[in-house]
């Protein structure tokens, strides 16, 4: 992350002067608003925190927009959606009552007294709490009656983000009843289905219904407890986050706990399972997996999967849907080497639940370092593959770090030198799911593959454009190069891929586009500002921090990486290509794509002359590649699910769908097991062995069966069978990487022929 050139003290001076400035402005007169129910109230410093947050956004955000009526509407809608993302609690009459806020939050927040009127934050939350209590009471009535039948053709709409709010309480109860039916059916199916000879059978213990009712009742009690015990800091967090997100999705207000979490993320010291979590539509959603963490190593959890239930060893499971994210994190975190079970709702099929048991571990920096493989083809040709999980560099957080700092560019240099020494004919850089990191390292990394020149442009709000360039005329590697990306490649990884594409230096292969995050944020701790706080700031009274988008990135060709991302030269089939929930374009209030004047750079033209032939050869292979035929089947199923956005409340239909998925997976596993062993040899190259002579042959780690679709399955029961099951595990497949290797072989061949022709000419 790059920081504002404006020193913090200068920023503080601006803030100190806000009270004088506010006294001179013409304040918008707030309209009368409903009074909140007696209960939660703002903390003594909260009105000033809100005012400062709004003022800093006005002054320093890239858009340079005042908090006006239009932004106030987005602010209001964002706050409502953050509390009720499925649109099932607030009634239309509630929204009508609060309509005065929609166009008046600007006046209430910037009221001319250097403090904000936080009445809307707490009045709206109190109403939400009232509706949630009604929801909980109604569910308890239904559970007591225990009249659950699943033989109708009724379906539940899974994604209600864009659906209208219920007109009245009766309509809301209909939604609550459907939601409970769905949860009951999922619990029932996960307990009662067993697979025998390829068919599903029903095996229900006599007390199963009682147990399911008790489980759901406990989940709702816990959810009500968490909601009613939300503190004023959490209400302020949600409210001011909605304000920041009205400007763009990457600006945030962070209360003290979340500011600490952000610091840990920047230091690659994340949660005990190795995942970055984010609240999304009431769900705890996995937004990013940390390389080497327990979640990645399980090979059973993906970005955009939702965590719906958390169970710690020896403790009852907890339903975390609609739970505050900080509290979910507290449940997931724990001591090293202890187990936590997560019930996952996978991104590819929200109607399925899967239980994954993980052993908490430290997330070590070594697991996030660059690493390489040398792939030796049957004809003796050698290819290099460098896996780069992030663009890392030391982060000074005022704590002791490594004795030897780690830099991406230094580590990649070491790996490339080893690959060159082993006479590889070409190299693949794998930036899939690389979330970015250090801009400086991304520039240095790009410089390893070009001689010198501009790499990325950054535009300030005032229109000033800065150029980050590689100034080293040396070029570490000038051979055939492919860069792999996917929809989760973001920020710094997009900058590197875009530069290598614009220079015509590398062939970009992957999903339809990268993420599209082309903005820079600056983190400002509010405690550093010498403001006249109502209560003195201390370790236990931290006002938090604000993260503000301050710049946009542009390619050397002048096009922004914001919103559209980077489009690969060769797009490969992937389910992610069809998701409407991934990428910058899926986020509300994302800054738009635009262009600026390009800068002068040298187009090496090493890709375009060969692109037609490379496309044709790749298409011909994919037409008969079995793994890509499977991917096409998955795409069709995903598109169907995404279009319908519903799940059946009919038990037979639900069982039929589970049977289809299980049969399909079993048939694929059997087909892969029957394949002839690959003649390709693979060798591992790490930063530890890159200086050593020779090569270390790769050994595939078996995937142990520590997962079950049955929440009642004890992971300890599964572990004794791990060794036997591992022998029958199908080989790990990465169809996109396999095809990238074939494309690289073609690319090497075409470049070689052209070199011969040029030499003869």
Helix axes 69-83, 232-247, angle to 10 degrees: 130
CA atoms of 283 and 86, how far apart (whole Å): 10
CA atoms of 695 and 698, how far apart (whole Å): 9
Q: 27: which DSSP letter?
A: P
Q: 630: which DSSP letter?
A: H
CA atoms of 489 and 497, how far apart (whole Å): 9
Q: Which helix (H) or strand (E) holds 285?
A: strand 283-289
CA atoms of 47 and 35, how far apart (whole Å): 17
* Main-chain dihedrals φ then ψ at residue 656, nearest 5 degrees: -60, -40
- DSSP β-bridge partners for residue 483: 429, 508
Q: How far is residue 94 from each of residues 196, 228, 537, measured CA to CA in Å? A: 51, 19, 37
User: Degrees (nearest 5) of the Cα angle 452, 458, 464?
Assistant: 115
Alpha helix positions (H), 84-118:
92-97, 99-102, 105-109
Residue 729 known to be catalytic: no
Catalytic residue selected from 491, 493, 618, 715: 491
| Residue 650 · residue 152 · CB < 8 Å | yes
CA atoms of 522 and 11, how far apart (whole Å): 12
Which residue's entry shows tokens 């070590």?
364
- 109-113 — which CB contacts under 8 Å span 24+ positions? 109/50, 109/51, 109/54, 109/67, 109/243, 110/22, 110/27, 110/28, 110/51, 110/54, 110/55, 110/67, 111/27, 111/28, 111/30, 112/22, 112/23, 112/25, 112/26, 112/27, 113/22, 113/27
Which residue's entry shows tokens 């930063």?
687
Helix axes 119-145, 208-228, angle to 10 degrees: 170
H helices then E strands: how many in the chain? Answer: 23, 24
Alpha-carbon Rg for the chain in angstroms: 28
| Residue 289 · residue 275 · CB < 8 Å | yes
CA atoms of 76 and 120, how far apart (whole Å): 9
Catalytic residue selected from 406, 517, 547, 552: 517
Q: Which 3 state secondary structure label does DSSP give 470?
A: strand
How would DSSP label each residue in 398-417?
SS---SS---HHHHHHHHHH
Residue 491 known to be catalytic: yes
Residue 281 known to be catalytic: no
Cα–Cα nearest to 402, from 450, 364, 433:
364
Catalytic residue selected from 94, 281, 502, 511: 502
| Residue 740 · residue 482 · CB < 8 Å | yes
What is the bridge-based pairing of β-strands 507-510 and 570-571? parallel
- DSSP β-bridge partners for residue 696: 684
- DSSP β-bridge partners for residue 339: 359
Residues noted as catalytic: 491, 502, 517
């Amino acid at each position: 992350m790059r920081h504002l050139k404006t020193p913090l003290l200068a920023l503080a001076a601006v803030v100190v002067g806000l009270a004088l400035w506010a006294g001179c402005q013409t304040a918008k007169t707030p309209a009368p608003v409903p009074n909140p129910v007696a209960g939660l109230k703002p903390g003594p410093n909260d009105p000033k925190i809100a005012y400062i947050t709004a003022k800093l956004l006005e002054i320093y955000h890239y858009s340079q927009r005042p908090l006006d009526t239009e932004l106030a509407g987005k602010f209001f809608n964002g706050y409502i959606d953050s509390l009720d993302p499925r649109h099932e609690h607030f009634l239309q009459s509630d929204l009508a009552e609060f309509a005065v806020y929609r166009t008046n939050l600007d006046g209430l927040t910037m009221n001319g007294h250097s403090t904000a009127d936080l009445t809307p934050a707490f009045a709206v939350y109190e109403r939400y709490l009232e509706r949630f209590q009604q929801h909980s009471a109604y569910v308890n009535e239904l559970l007591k009656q225990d009249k659950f039948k699943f033989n109708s053709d009724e379906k539940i709409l899974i994604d209600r983000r864009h659906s209208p709010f219920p007109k009245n309480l009766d309509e809301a109860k209909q939604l609550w009843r459907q939601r409970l039916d769905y949860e009951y059916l999922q619990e029932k199916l996960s307990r009662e289905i067993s697979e025998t000879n390829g068919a599903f059978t029903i095996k229900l213990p006599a007390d199963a219904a009682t147990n399911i009712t008790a489980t759901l009742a406990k989940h709702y009690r816990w959810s009500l407890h968490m909601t009613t015990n939300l503190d004023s800091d959490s209400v302020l967090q949600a409210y001011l986050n909605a304000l920041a997100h009205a400007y763009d999705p990457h600006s945030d207000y962070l209360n003290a706990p979340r500011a600490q979490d952000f610091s840990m993320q920047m230091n690659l010291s994340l949660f005990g399972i190795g995942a970055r979590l984010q609240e999304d539509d009431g769900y705890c959603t996995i937004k990013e997996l940390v390389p080497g963490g327990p979640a990645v190593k399980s090979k059973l959890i993906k970005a955009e999967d939702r965590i719906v239930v958390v169970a710690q060893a020896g403790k009852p499971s907890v339903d975390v849907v609609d739970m505050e994210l900080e509290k979910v994190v507290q449940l997931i975190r724990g001591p090293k080497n202890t187990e936590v079970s997560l019930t996952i709702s996978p991104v590819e099929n929200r109607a399925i639940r899967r239980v994954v048991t993980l052993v908490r571990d430290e997330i070590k920096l070594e697991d996030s370092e660059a690493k390489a493989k040398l792939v030796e083809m049957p004809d003796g040709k050698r290819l290099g593959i460098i896996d780069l999980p992030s663009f890392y560099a030391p982060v000074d957080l005022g704590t002791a770090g490594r004795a030897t700092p780690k830099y991406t560019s230094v580590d990649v240099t070491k790996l490339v030198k080893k690959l060159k020494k082993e006479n590889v004919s070409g190299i693949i850089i794998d930036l899939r799911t690389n979330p970015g990191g250090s801009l400086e390292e991304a520039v240095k990394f790009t410089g390893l593959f070009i001689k010198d020149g501009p790499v990325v442009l950054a535009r300030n709000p005032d229109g000033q454009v800065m150029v980050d360039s590689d100034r080293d005329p040396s070029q570490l590697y000038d051979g055939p190069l492919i860069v792999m990306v996917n929809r989760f490649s973001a920020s710094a990884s997009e900058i590197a891929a875009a530069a290598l594409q614009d220079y015509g230096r590398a062939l970009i292969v992957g999903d339809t586009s990268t993420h599209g995050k082309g903005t820079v944020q600056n983190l400002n701790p509010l405690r550093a500002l010498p403001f006249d706080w109502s209560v003195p700031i201390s370790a236990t009274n931290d006002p938090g921090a604000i993260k503000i988008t301050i710049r946009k990135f542009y390619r050397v060709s002048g096009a922004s990486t914001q919103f559209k991302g980077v489009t690969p030269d060769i797009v490969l089939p992937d389910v992610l290509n069809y998701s409407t929930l991934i990428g910058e374009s899926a986020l509300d209030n994302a800054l738009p794509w635009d262009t600026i004047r390009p800068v002068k750079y040298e187009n090496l033209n090493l890709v375009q002359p060969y692109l037609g032939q490379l496309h044709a050869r790749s298409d011909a292979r994919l037409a008969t590649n079995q793994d890509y035929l499977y991917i096409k089947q998955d795409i069709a199923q995903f598109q169907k699910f995404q279009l319908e956005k519903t799940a059946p409340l009919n038990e037979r239909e639900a069982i039929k769908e589970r049977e289809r998925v299980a049969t399909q997976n079993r048939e694929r596993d059997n087909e892969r097991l029957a394949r002839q062993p690959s003649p390709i040899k693979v060798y591992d190259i790490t930063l530890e062995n890159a200086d050593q002579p020779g090569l270390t042959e790769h050994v595939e780690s078996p995937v142990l069966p520590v997962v079950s679709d049955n929440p009642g399955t004890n992971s300890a029961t599964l572990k004794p069978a791990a060794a036997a099951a591992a022998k029958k595990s199908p080989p790990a497949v990465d169809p996109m990487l396999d095809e990238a290797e074939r494309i690289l072989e073609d690319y090497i061949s075409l470049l070689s022929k052209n070199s011969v022709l040029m030499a003869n000419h």
